[in-house]
Amino acid sequence: MRDPYSVLGVSQNASDDEVKKAYRELARKYHPDNYQNNPLADLAEEKMKEINEAYEAITKQRSGGGYQQQSSGGYGGYTQQRSYSAGSPTYARVRTLINGGDLAGAERLLYEVPQKDGEWYFLSGSIAYRKGWLDEAMQNYTRAVQMDPNNMEYRQALAVMQQRGGGYRPYGYNNTVDGMDCCTTMLCLNCLCGGGHC
C-alpha cells in the first residue's frame, strides 16, 4: 500500500485537523454520487477506497495502534449494485451486461424485446448514457418516466441528467458561468486567450 500520507497529500507532521480536512476534500471529490452511471465510476470507487484506507491507517497509527476504528467518519458503504426490481429475466441480463460494460451485447438483447415499456426505455437510456449519447439518453429517460411516473429509479436517472453542476468542482470553480452577471461575462469573453502566433 502507498504511504497513507501521500495518498491524502499531506505531510507526516500534519495536524489531525489538516489530515481530516484533506480527507474530507478528497472524499468530496471521489464521492460516488458524482459518478453515477459514469463509465469511469469504478475508478472513483477505487480512489475512494484508497483514501478511506489511508485515513483509517493514519487515525489508527495516531491513536496508538490498538484502537479499532469503527467508523472513520468516512464515506463508504456505497455499492454500485442495487437491488433492482427487474421486470423480466431479459432485463436482468441486460442490466448485468451494462454493468459489465458490454454495451453492444446489452443493446442487441434489448432490441429483441417485443414490447417497449418503461423499463425498456430506462435501460435503453442507460446504454445511451454509457456510450456518451446524452441526447438520446435524455429522450429515453424522459419517456421511461412518462410511462411509469412512480418509478423512483427512472426519476432519479432523469434528475441526475438534468441537475447541472451537481458533480464535484474544486474550490474556485463553484460559480458556473450562469451565475455571473452580464458585465462580468462580457469582460470574461474579452479575456479568452486570443489567436495568433507567439
Partner 1 sequence: MFGYVRPLRQELKCRDFDLYRATYCGLCRCLRRRYGPLAPMFLNFDFIFLTLLLWDPEDEFVPCRGRCHANPLVKKPMCPDSPALELAADESVILTWWKLRDSARDDGVVGGLPARVLAAGLYPAYRKAAERRPDFDGVVRACLEELSHLEEACCPSLDRAADAFARLLRGAAPSGDGRSRVLSQLLYHLGRWIYLADARDDLEEDRRAGRYNPVSARYGTQGDDEALKATMDQSLDLMGAALQLGEFGCRTPVLENIIYLGLPLVQRAVFDGSWAQIKKQKIWSNRQ
Which phi and psi angles does 161 have, rounded to 5°? -70, -35
Determine contact, residues 128/140, Cβ cutoff 8 Å. Answer: yes
> Which range in 4-12, 31-39, 109-117, 149-157 contacts partner 1 by CB under 8 A?
31-39
Cell of 156: 432519479
Q: Which is it for the CA torsion 85, 168, 138, 99, positive or negative?
A: negative
> Which range in 52-60, 77-85, 115-123, 165-173 contacts partner 1 by CB under 8 A?
165-173
Q: Which is it for the CA torsion 83, 85, 89, 90, positive or negative?
A: negative
162 part of the interface to partner 1, by CB under 8 A: yes
104 part of the interface to partner 1, by CB under 8 A: no
> Which range in 3-11, 55-63, 78-86, 157-165 contacts partner 1 by CB under 8 A?
157-165
Q: How far is the CB of 137 from partner 1 (least distance, A)?
A: 8
Q: Which is nearer to partner 1, 59 or 121 (CB)?
A: 121
> Which range in 52-60, 71-79, 102-110, 130-138 contacts partner 1 by CB under 8 A?
130-138
d(CA 132, CA 126): 10
| Given 132, 150, 152, 181, the residue binding partner 1 (CB under 8 A) | 132
d(CA 79, CA 48): 12
Distance in angstroms between the alpha carbons of the first and the last residue of the chain: 45
**Number of C-beta neighbours around residue 81 at 10 A:** 8
100 part of the interface to partner 1, by CB under 8 A: no
Q: Which residues bind partner 1 (CB under 8 A)?
A: 29-30, 34-35, 38-40, 43-44, 47, 128, 131-136, 138, 161-162, 164-170, 172-173, 176-177, 185, 187-198
